[in-house]
Amino acid sequence: MSVLTIVPKRRRRSIIARVGWPRFLQEIGMLAPAIVLMTIFLITPFLLSFWTAMTNQPLVPRPTPVRFVGFNNFLRILNDDLFWTSLWNVTRFTFWVLPVQCGFAFVTALILNQKMPFRNLFRGMFFLPAITSMVVVCVIWGTLFQYPTGPLNHIVVSLSGGHIQPIDWLGDPNWAMVSIVLLSAWQAYGFQMIIYLAGMQGIPDELYDAARIDGAGPWGRFWHVTMPGLRPTHVFVLVITTIQAFKLYTQIAILTQGGPNSSTETVVHYMVRAGFEEQKLGYASAVSVILFLIVLVIALVQRRLMRRFDV
């Protein structure tokens, strides 16, 4: 160590001396478009949201100057019952959609992971809803949910032998969120299915062979080889699905507008209503800061969990 400090430090040659001007300018020119665009359209609005959140900024410029209001917006949000309802609703949505969507994705992945003819065709079919736009999904499910004579009601009534009355899927406060869960899970499960399939195919065949030699049946191989091998995949899928769930918006805006009785109000829908319809951009920015903090916490928890599972 001491020997090294005696030797005078040789100054690093500057980049221009090393590569010359033309190369330097070319590199800047190739990197700049991405950096400039991200600065304008991602970093600036992100930083601006913290500032706007502390002002009474309106959507359309007014003659009166924009005032700094400190944490007032945040205080008003935290005192608004509708905000807590929307937060509770997305939490509820998350807890329902996680088992339905990931469960269905996991089961289809297990089925498709077996050796069978036409496997690629089936995988393509199961993945089809995932490439369908949410707007189109809303048109389709809007008809499926028709009350009282839509297809889903038809199935429910005939399966129960007439014991269950037709359900007003989107109009009944007790059912509206359930309906949104069904539709959302159907649209998005393909993504989780593909992630699970990739995880299952990443488990080496030798482990299954070894388990077979040790006398493990299909059930034993599932519990002692497949499930432990999928632990990082489970964590990843759960976190991705949770973040998606907290951003729930499109299907709500199209099908229920947060109703009936605010039973499907969500954080993003609440934000858009405040900012766009009521024109209170400052207030809406404060909601978006809260949304960012929620997503950040989930992402940090994921990183923690992934590290624990040594991924």
Which segment (71-79, 86-94, 109-117, 215-223) binds another protein by CB under 8 A? 109-117
In the numeric block, the tokens 């089925």 are attached to: 111
Say whether residue 127 binds another protein (CB under 8 A).
yes
Number of residues that bind another protein (CB under 8 A): 101
Interacting residues with another protein between 252 and 281 (CB under 8 A): 253-255, 268, 271-272, 275-276, 281
Exactly one of 80, 91, 243, 262 binds another protein (CB under 8 A); that residue is 243
Task: Please give the full DSSP string across 93-128, using - where no structure is assigned.
Answer: HHHHHIIIIIHHHHHHHHHHTS--TTHHHHHHHHHG
Exactly one of 138, 177, 182, 188 binds another protein (CB under 8 A); that residue is 138
Interacting residues with another protein between 49 and 88 (CB under 8 A): 49, 52, 57, 59
**Of 84, 104, 245, nearest in space to 180 by CA:** 245
Cis peptide before 260 (omega within 30 of 0): yes
Give 167 or 194: the residue with its C-beta nearer to another protein: 194
Exactly one of 110, 178, 207, 306 binds another protein (CB under 8 A); that residue is 306
Exactly one of 92, 231, 234, 247 binds another protein (CB under 8 A); that residue is 247
* Residue 177 phi, psi dihedral angles, 5° rounding: -70, -35
Say whether residue 42 binds another protein (CB under 8 A).
yes
Q: Which residues pair with 68 in a beta bridge?
A: 55
Helices (H) and strands (E) in the chain, counts: 18, 0
Say whether residue 203 binds another protein (CB under 8 A).
no
Cβ proximity of 207 and 169 under 8 Å = no
